[in-house]
């Protein structure tokens, strides 16, 4: 996501702040006032771009020939050196001199329509999984960092390195004070490096673990 925002949209990396949402997914905050005026439609356009939706076959040089599903290759004058054009070109191992190779690829796919369908599947696969409702809603109030998510008991926290971030360690902000809970069903999880495999009717757990099981609907406070 950061690579898309910085590389494709030109947002300075220092203006991109990543937070774990406290449950499923991450929030990407952009601290740049020039983006504040974006309305729902503009945000929807960004969602489509980031998700890889709606890329035209013509944008990477494949054009429908008149009178059928045949295709011919004519690369755009601006080349294939940036954005989705570059991503697709790298995936297909082509450049602006690869007219014959791209023509053969289109023929192997079965023609213009089949190539376009394959291109759509490819870009969606390469794109970012993003919640369009959250992103396009200009009235949504986002959770404050440090607050707990009621669906998990985990906190919204800033992420320094998304690759090494572990929400079941780094987002367990409640302490180790013991709390008694009553189990509704067998439950298990790994939190802060400890494996919990709960089968008895009641248990006494650290607060962060008790909150997790209660918020997940697997237990109630005893």
Point out the domain boundary residue: 108, 126, 144.
126
What is the rounded distance in angstroms from the CA atom of residue 51 to the CA atom of residue 45? 10
Residues 86 and 115 in one domain: yes
Q: Is residue 164 part of a domain?
A: no
What is the rounded distance in angstroms from the CA atom of residue 136 to the CA atom of residue 133? 5
Question: Angle CA(216)–CA(160)–CA(158) in degrees, nearest 5?
Answer: 45
Residues 35 and 62 in one domain: no
Question: Which residues, in sequence order, are bridge partners of residue 203?
Answer: 181
Q: Where in the sequence is the domain holding 96, given as residue range(s)?
A: 57-126
Residues 64 and 120 in one domain: yes
Q: Is residue 166 part of a domain?
A: no
Average pLDDT over residues 162-174: 95
The alpha-helical segments, DSSP class H, found in 52-194 are 83-92, 99-109, 112-126, 132-136, 167-170
Residues 39 and 135 in one domain: yes
Number of domains observed in the structure of the chain? 3
The whole-number pLDDT of residue 190 equals: 96
Q: Is residue 165 part of a domain?
A: no
CB neighbour class for 80 (10 Å; exposed up to 12, middle 13-18, buried from 19): buried
User: Using one digit for the tens of pLDDT, what is the confidence trace for 197-222?
Assistant: 998 899 999 999 999 999 999 999 88
The whole-number pLDDT of residue 70 equals: 80
Q: Are the C-beta atoms of residues 184 and 219 closer than 8 Å to each other? A: yes
pTM for the whole thing? 0.81
Residues 30 and 140 in one domain: yes
Q: Is residue 163 part of a domain?
A: no
Residues 121 and 61 in one domain: yes
Point out the domain boundary residue: 86, 106, 126.
126
Q: Is residue 169 part of a domain?
A: no
């Amino acid at each position: 996501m950061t690579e898309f925002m910085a590389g494709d949209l030109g947002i300075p990396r220092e203006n991109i702040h990543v937070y774990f949402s406290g449950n499923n997914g991450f929030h990407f905050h952009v601290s740049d006032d020039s983006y504040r005026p974006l309305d729902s439609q503009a945000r929807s356009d960004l969602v489509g771009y980031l998700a890889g939706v709606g890329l035209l076959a013509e944008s990477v040089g494949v054009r429908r020939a008149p009178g059928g599903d045949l295709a011919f290759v004519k690369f755009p004058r601006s080349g294939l050196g940036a954005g989705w054009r570059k991503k697709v070109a790298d995936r297909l191992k082509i450049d602006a001199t690869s007219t014959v190779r791209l023509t053969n690829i289109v023929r192997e796919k079965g023609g213009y329509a089949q190539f376009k369908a394959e291109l759509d599947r490819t870009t969606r696969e390469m794109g970012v999984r993003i919640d369009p409702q959250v992103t396009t809603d200009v009235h949504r109030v986002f959770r404050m960092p440090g607050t707990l998510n009621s669906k998990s008991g985990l906190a919204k926290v800033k992420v320094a390195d998304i690759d090494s971030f572990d929400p079941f360690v780094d987002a367990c902000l409640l302490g180790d004070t013991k709390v008694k809970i009553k189990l509704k069903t067998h439950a298990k999880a790994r939190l802060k490096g400890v494996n919990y495999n709960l089968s008895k009717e009641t248990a006494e757990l650290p607060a962060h673990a008790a909150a997790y099981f209660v918020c997940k609907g697997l237990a109630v406070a005893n």
